[in-house]
Amino acid sequence: TVLMCRGKAMQDFQGPDCRFVNFKKGEAVYVYYKLIGKSTELWAGSVGSDFGYFPKDLLEINHNYSNEELELPTDVSILFVCL
């Protein structure tokens, strides 16, 4: 897994289930995957020790780590289930 970029949350986000990462406005969010296909509005990343999906529109990118973008088809990337 390659860290793609870091951004700042522009507003609070509370995900609908455990596959999503929650954050507060101003928190640093680290992006590892950009999803393609049906869920192009979602990226996957971490906030602290929590990992999950979040709407890309809520993130203001302030640092790029990699010029290579890793894009995953949404039907492959959303494999884990909330227990």
Query: Which residue carries 């010029």 as its tokens?
Result: 67
Domain covering 5-64, topology:
SH3 type barrels. (2.30.30)
Domain residue ranges in the chain: 5-64
Q: pTM of the entire structure? A: 0.79
Residues 6+ apart with CB under 8 A from 17: 82
pLDDT at 1 over 70: no
Q: Cβ distance 59 to 75 under 8 Å?
A: no
pLDDT confidence of residue 83? 60
pLDDT at 24 over 90: yes
Instruction: Give residue-wise pLDDT tens across range 30-77.
Output: 999 887 676 678 999 999 999 999 999 999 999 988 766 555 555 544
The two beta strands, 71-73 and 28-36, are parallel
